[in-house]
Structure 1
Amino acid sequence: MTTIDKTAFGVLEAEERLLNGVFKGATAVPGRFGFRGDIAIEFQPKMADEKRPPEKCCEQVMAAANEGEPHFIFLAGFLLSFGYLKLLAEVLGEALSPAGKYILFCDNIDLSKKYVIDYAGATFYILPIDEATVYNETLELLYLEKNELKKMDTGGKLDAVVNAGVKFVGDRKFIKSTYDELVATMGPVRNPYENRPV
């Protein structure tokens, strides 16, 4: 059976970065390990033994890695700010690969544009998020029918997304850009807690 320590998730698990997992385990595809949840990319300073929520996260992550391979074959997630990509890439490190497919939905980029950038030895597809979830946005991007996936369990849904995701190739609507160019054009970082009842 595929175990987490034999995959690219092993380091993240050891560093306690895999949070709020709705799925974390071997999928139905032999040798594949999958995860749905959040990845902590910056921790708050620890106060004594108190466990504090992370300062920054890549949220609503859907990711997969194969046993015995050092990189993620697929990863999709949400960043509150595109600028957090630098932190995410540092955390993932050698688990990123030119062969992997990495899709990030960001809150503070132009809502009318989609980008593709090469960064940290990998290609990232960068898209705006329009009040929807990463799951819904990814299904739309990969032309997957939500109704067809409804009957599947969480692992099965993740496999369906990953199977389509690894074949994804961005079309002409994706603008070739760079990390620095996008950082220069991104908007302010929204406070996700404003307007929430206390």
Structure 2
Amino acid sequence: MSTTIEHSAFADLDRQKRLLNPVFKGEINPHGRFGFRGELAIKFAVALADEARPPELLAQQIISVAEPEAPKIGFFSCYLLSFGYLESLVEVLADSLDPTGKYFIYCNNIDFSKRYHLEYKGIPFYILPLDEATVYNELLDLFGLERNDLKKLDTAGKINRIAESALQYSSVFPEISYADCLAGMGPVRDPGENRPV
């Protein structure tokens, strides 16, 4: 039996219209595992009249999966412009995260030489730096996946392969508290800086 988003752990986020610009949103393997690749609205902009405005805060470059009929998202990865947005992200995902899940948050303003593991509101997170690269490429490197092997797969197959590695990932990063990570983060950089107009 195929899994639709209504029967996945993404259902509430989809109903709230938070799942944006999907590169992929559907079943990723024969067992009904559901995957999403795209963006998540963390904070909506105030709408004026009928004007549709982009969200004030976004989690970008999401790659995420949930097992069939599972109430929680088992694997979630994304890019945040600032580590400081983690609190708002967790508020949005509060009912969708599990203490046994694997969650990888790439941030623009974390020291590029550092990687951390932290627990926030009972949920474990891997916190990693990201500047010019992509979450997709960083995950391949983190999990030791060969790009040439993934090239042969379609989008669903790529998400599934990354998810398999993520769910088995057990490397140990230095522990840090949320407060210490917040205190040590750098300024939020302008994503449009130094780009041609």
The two structures have a TM-score, normalised by structure 2, of 0.96
Q: Give the match's secondary structure for 1:40.
A: strand
Secondary structure of the 1:50 match is coil
**Cα distance, 1:28 vs structure 2:** 1.6
Within a 5 Å distance, the mapping from 1:3-42 to structure 2 comes to 3-42=4-43
CA shift for structure 1 position 49: 1.4
Task: Give the corresponding residue for 1:87.
Answer: 88
Q: Tell me, in whole angstroms, the C-alpha distance in 1 between the residues paired with 2:55 and 2:39.
A: 10
- Which residue is equivalent to 1:190? 189
Q: In the TM superposition, what is the alpha-carbon distance from 1:105 to its structure 2 partner? A: 0.6
- In structure 2, the residue matched to 1:107 is 108
Paired residues for 1:95-134 under 5 Å: 95-134=96-135
Aligned residues of 1:2 and 1:67 also touching (Cα < 8 A): yes
What runs of 5+ residues in structure 1 fail to find an aligned partner?
A: none
Alpha-carbon distance change, 10 to 195 in structure 1, aligned in 2, over 3 angstroms = same
Partner of 1:137: 138
3-state DSSP class of the match of 2:168?
coil
Q: Which amino acid aligns with 2:109?
A: N
Instruction: After TM superposition, give the deviation of residue 175 of structure 1 in Å.
Output: 1.3
Bigger shift: 152-161 or 2-11?
Answer: 2-11
Q: For 2:108 and 2:54, how far apart are their aligned partners in 1?
A: 20
- Displacement, 1:51? 1.1
Identical amino acids, percent of aligned pairs: 51
Q: 2: distance between equivalents of 1:170 and 1:57?
A: 28
Q: Is the 8 A contact 1:23 1:154 kept in 2?
A: yes
Aligned-pair RMSD on alpha carbons?
A: 1.0
Match of 2:165 in 1: 164
Higher strand share: 1
Task: Give the superposition deviation at 1:50.
Answer: 1.2
CA distance in 2, matches of 1:29, 1:136: 25
Residues 141-192 of structure 1 deviation map (CA, whole Å, 9 limit, x = unaligned): 0110011000100000000000010000123xx2101111101110111111
Asked if 2 retains the 8 angstrom alpha-carbon contact of 1:125 and 1:170, the reply is: no
The answer for the alignment partner of 2:79 in structure 1 is 78
Q: What's the CA shift string for 1:59-117, capped at 9, x where partnerless?
A: 00000012221111101110000010001100001211011100011000111110000
Q: Distance in 2 between matches of 1:193 and 1:49?
A: 28
Q: 1:29 to 1:122 in 2, by over 3 A?
A: farther
Take 1:29 and 1:168, find their aligned partners in 2: how far apart are those partners?
A: 22
CA distance in 1, matches of 2:9, 2:51: 28
- In structure 2, the partner of 1:178 is 177
- Aligned equivalents of 1:140, 1:64: Cα separation in 2: 19
**In 2, Cα distance between equivalents of 1:13 and 1:120:** 23
Contact 1:29 1:159 (C-alpha < 8 Å) held by counterparts: no
Count of aligned pairs between the two proteins? 196
| Secondary structure in structure 1 of the residue aligned to 2:180 | helix
